[in-house]
Amino acid sequence: MKKLLKLLIKISCITLGVLFTIYMLNLDMKVVGFIYTWLNKFHDKKDSLRDIQF
């Protein structure tokens, strides 16, 4: 039981450390910005005369 508790504490500390690093370095918004830029480039290359179909 003690080994399981130590493992859970270690996993939670690592998880909190990773989440804190992502928060402090604003990495989530950097990834979103990269994806947004990539999607804009992708859709700008498409034929603009083609009608959008749903």
Tell me which of 54 and 45 has the higher pLDDT: 45
pLDDT digits (tens, 9 = 90+) for 2-53: 999 999 999 999 999 999 999 999 999 999 999 999 998 888 877 666 666 6
Residue 50 lies in a domain: no
Tokens representing 12?
Answer: 């939670």
Q: Are 22 and 28 in contact (CB under 8 A)?
A: yes
Tokens representing 34?
Answer: 């990269």
Residue 51 lies in a domain: no
Report the domain count for the chain.
Answer: 1
The whole-number pLDDT of residue 9 equals: 97
Q: Are 12 and 18 in contact (CB under 8 A)?
A: no
The whole-number pLDDT of residue 23 equals: 95
Residue 33 lies in a domain: yes
Q: Residue 12: which domain range?
A: 2-44
* Distance from C-alpha of 20 to C-alpha of 28, rounded to nearest angstrom: 11
Residue 52 lies in a domain: no
The whole-number pLDDT of residue 21 equals: 96
Burial class (CB in 10 A: 0-12, 13-18, 19+), 22: middle
pTM of the model: 0.61
